[in-house]
Amino acid sequence: MASDRRPLLPKAERALDRLKYEVAADLGLDDDIEQKGWGNMTTRQVGKIGGTMVKRLIQKAEQDLSEE
Is residue 1's pLDDT more than 50?
Answer: no
Separation CA 33–CA 24 (nearest Å): 8
pTM (two decimals): 0.82
**Residues spanned by the domain of 53:** 12-66
**Whole-number pLDDT of residue 3:** 62
Q: How confident is the model at residue 66 (pLDDT cuts 50, 70, 90)?
A: very high
User: What interhelical angle do 43-66 and 12-26 show, nearest 10?
Assistant: 120
Q: Per the domain annotation, does 7 fall within a domain? A: no
Tens digits of residue pLDDT in 2-48: 566 777 888 889 999 999 999 999 999 999 999 999 999 999 999 99
Q: Do 23 and 53 meet the contact criterion of CB atoms below 8 Å apart?
A: yes
Separation CA 43–CA 60 (nearest Å): 25
Give the Cβ contact number of residue 22 at 10 Å: 15
Q: Per the domain annotation, does 59 fall within a domain? A: yes
Separation CA 26–CA 36 (nearest Å): 18
Number of compact structural domains in the chain: 1
Q: Per the domain annotation, does 2 fall within a domain? A: no
Q: Per the domain annotation, does 4 fall within a domain? A: no
